[in-house]
Amino acid sequence: METQAPAEDSYDKLVEEKRAREKEIDAWLPITSSRNAKWWYSAFHNVTAMVGAGVLSLPYAMAQLGWGPGVVILILSWIITLYTLWQMVEMHEMVPGKRFDRYHELGQHAFGEKLGLYIVVPQQLIVEVGVCIVYMVTGGKSLKKFHDLVCKDCKSIKLTYFIMIFASVHFVLSHLPNFNSISGVSLAAAVMSLSYSTIAWSASAAKGVKENVEYGYKAKSTAGTVFNFFSALGEVAFAYAGHNVVLEIQATIPSTPEKPSKGPMWKGVVVAYIVVALCYFPVALVGYWMFGNSVDDNILETLEKPAWLIATANMFVVIHVIGSYQIYAMPVFDMMETVLVKKMNFRPSWYLRFVVRNFYVAATMFVGMTFPFFGGLLAFFGGFAFAPTTYFLPCVMWLAIYKPRRYSLSWWTNWICIAFGVCLMVLSPIGGLRTIIIQAKDYKFYS
């Protein structure tokens, strides 16, 4: 019997060492390293994540959808995505004593260890990496627009160089360790999103309704009209994309059994959604009302005057997408660092982080420089990955975990959201892909 004790001791020691190592890794990883956020952090992180550059393409989406369908889809999207966001906030701590700090952890709980990863991780990565690429392009385009407005007599500079200038900021900011350390950047970004949205719709209103304005569909053929309609669905889906980082944001809020994190998180989400409504609806409706179907895929490009105001708005967009890029990059950093440290047994160090994050920024910059088809990219990514993770994946998880009674209100609500989301997912990439093909026909690389 005596020989048993040392074996048990060494086993206990191994378990303790493993726990200590896991704790050390969690304290180093960006999502779980800091849990002292306040409810208002949740508000501006959510505004920064949600109100992306997608808001500027909403008048263009309205022009392709038309008044009736456009208004219905905008309002429906706002209601459905608020509902699915509430579900995610609720599910964060539904198992007592455990927190689902990452979207894929919740997926694993709902669908099983392996299947959960296969369902959630590819979609989440497509969304987050896709947003970072689109924001590289948006940041570069807004900088170029600012330069062209401020310095009309200057020599024209390639968009490629502006994307590089925009990326240079991220080679520095990406080394901020976690969500709480980027809260200042995120707050600035949230303020900017409200500012440039207000400039976009108020400058449109000040300009007044354009002469000979037309609200009919722009495409001459029926097929063109239908494809444009599908594409616009994707642009709307892209505009509501904050769900991919919501559990990661909630993970930064402290939680106890008496005071779970869902209270402050939900408070922040409600404030964020009010701001979202104040940004989206006026821009979409006023922009379309003033310019009709001649509006560009970025409303700031349609508004040429007053030059100083539009230049300011473009600079606000640049500051906003800097913060937004960081919000979407953080979960990707977390995934990459988790795999390297937990699966490949690299030591958690500043050197590892330096290499991983610089590589990621460089990769998104390169892809953004190579394929800057802004409108088509929005529609394609919007349908392909945003619709599932935003509109119906939370509902599927809810049905899998809570199993509401068949034909009850909860059951019907979730199935209606799933049906709407699946339609979005199937239809909008078709339109988006067509837009990319049309724009790519006369495109010169690195122009």
pLDDT, one tens digit per residue, over 234-292 is 778 778 777 888 898 999 898 888 889 999 999 999 999 999 999 899 999 999 998 88
User: How many domains does one find in the chain?
Assistant: 1
**Has residue 23 been placed in a domain?**
no
**Has residue 13 been placed in a domain?**
no
- H-only helix segments in 92-151: 103-111, 113-150
| Contact of 189 with 323, CB cutoff 8 Å | yes
| 91-94-95-98 Cα dihedral, nearest 10 degrees | 60
The amino acid sitting at 176 is: L
| Cis peptide bond N-terminal to 306, omega within 30 | yes
Task: For residue 348, give the 3-state DSSP assignment.
Answer: coil
pLDDT at position 6 is 65
The amino acid sitting at 302 is: T
106-140: b or e for each residue (b if 16 or more CB lie within 10 Å)? bbbbbbeeeebeebbbebbbbbbbbbbbbbbbbbb
The residue among 8, 29, 50, 55 whose CA lies nearest residue 269 is 50
Q: 19-23, 45-49, 255-259: lowest mean pLDDT where?
A: 19-23
**Has residue 7 been placed in a domain?**
no
**Has residue 26 been placed in a domain?**
no
pLDDT at position 74 is 92
The residue among 86, 38, 81 whose CA lies nearest residue 266 is 86
CA distances from 110 to 103, 148, 284, 347 (A): 11, 51, 36, 31
Range of the domain at 345: 33-441
Place of tokens 């460089």: 362
Q: 200-204, 236-240, 419-423, 436-440: lowest mean pLDDT where?
A: 436-440
- H-only helix segments in 240-389: 246-250, 262-291, 299-302, 307-338, 350-370, 374-381
The residue among 286, 307, 333, 58 whose CA lies nearest residue 173 is 333
| Contact of 275 with 47, CB cutoff 8 Å | yes
Place of tokens 């459905």: 80
2 pLDDT exceeds 70? no
pLDDT at position 443 is 66
pLDDT tens for each residue of 69-83: 999 999 998 999 899
**Has residue 408 been placed in a domain?**
yes
CA 220, 224, 229, 232 dihedral sign is: negative
- H-only helix segments in 151-293: 159-173, 183-207, 222-239, 246-250, 262-291
Would you mind telling me the total number of residues written for the chain in this entry?
Answer: 447
**Has residue 297 been placed in a domain?**
yes
Tokens of 394: 């939370």
pLDDT at position 5 is 61
Within 8 A by CB and 6+ apart from 165, the residues are 140, 143
Q: How confident is the model at residue 376 (pLDDT cuts 50, 70, 90)?
A: low
Within 8 A by CB and 6+ apart from 433, the residues are 376, 380
18 pLDDT exceeds 90? no
345 pLDDT exceeds 90? no
pLDDT tens for each residue of 152-189: 888 888 889 999 999 999 999 999 988 888 889 999 99
Tokens of 321: 């997408």
Within 8 A by CB and 6+ apart from 172, the residues are none
Place of tokens 């949740």: 42
Q: How many contiguous H segments (helices) and E segments (strands) does the chain have?
A: 17, 0
Average pLDDT over residues 432-447: 71
Q: 6-10, 28-32, 267-271, 400-404: lowest mean pLDDT where?
A: 6-10
Task: For residue 269, give the 3-state DSSP assignment.
Answer: helix
Say how far apart CA 432 and CA 125 lie, in whole Å.
19
Tokens of 290: 């003033």
| Contact of 231 with 431, CB cutoff 8 Å | yes
What DSSP designation does 335 have?
A: H
pLDDT at position 127 is 84
**Has residue 10 been placed in a domain?**
no
Q: Where residue 305 sits, what CATH number does that domain have?
A: 1.20.1740.10
pLDDT at position 164 is 95
Tokens of 54: 């997608």
| Contact of 203 with 310, CB cutoff 8 Å | yes
Give the percent of the chain with pLDDT over 90. Answer: 37
Say how far apart CA 201 and CA 111 lie, in whole Å.
43
**Has residue 78 been placed in a domain?**
yes
Q: Work out the mean pLDDT of the chain and round it to a whole number.
A: 86
| Contact of 7 with 226, CB cutoff 8 Å | no
Average pLDDT over residues 107-133: 89
| 258 phi, psi to nearest 5 deg | -75, -35
pLDDT at position 23 is 83
